[in-house]
């Protein structure tokens, strides 16, 4: 690993730590934990939700609960398609 890659890695870790501190200031611990689970499952959706949470958190000036986070994620995800399975018998 060369020096430039090491610098990039250090910078990324620093940004992740800043994001973590900001999210902790806007979310209650159970809500933060749920958001970290989303990060593991879907990094892109995590980024979308975390940006929304930071914008909203700076406006309402209180910590969001887990239920509020769930409703935000449902809103950002959009409507889910209903699955329909049909069996054809001979």
Condensed to tens digits (0 to 9), the pLDDT of residues 24-45 reads 999 999 999 999 999 999 999 9
Residue 3 lies in a domain: no
Q: 74: which residues sit within 8 A by CB, 6+ positions away?
A: none
Residue 51, domain extent: 27-77
The answer to whether 25 and 61 have CB atoms below 8 angstroms apart is: no
- pLDDT, average across residues 76-89: 82
Residue 49 lies in a domain: yes
- Degrees, nearest 5: CA angle 57-44-71: 45
Given a cut of 80, is residue 55 above it in pLDDT? yes
Residue 19 lies in a domain: no
Is this structure's pTM higher than 0.85? no
Structure tokens at 75: 């809103």
Residue 67 lies in a domain: yes
CA pair distance 7, 2, nearest whole angstrom: 9
Q: How many domains does the chain have?
A: 1
Residue 69 lies in a domain: yes
Given a cut of 90, is residue 77 above it in pLDDT? no
Residue 70 lies in a domain: yes
Residue 53 lies in a domain: yes
The percentage of the chain sitting over the pLDDT mark of 70, rounded to a whole number, equals 99
């Amino acid at each position: 690993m060369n020096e430039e890659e090491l610098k990039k890695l250090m910078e990324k870790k620093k940004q992740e730590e800043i994001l973590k501190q900001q999210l902790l200031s806007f979310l209650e611990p159970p809500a933060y934990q749920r958001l970290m689970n989303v990060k593991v499952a879907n990094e892109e959706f995590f980024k979308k939700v975390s940006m929304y949470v930071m914008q909203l958190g700076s406006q309402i000036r209180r910590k969001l609960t887990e239920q509020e986070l769930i409703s935000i994620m449902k809103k950002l995800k959009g409507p889910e398609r209903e699955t329909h399975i049909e069996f054809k018998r001979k």
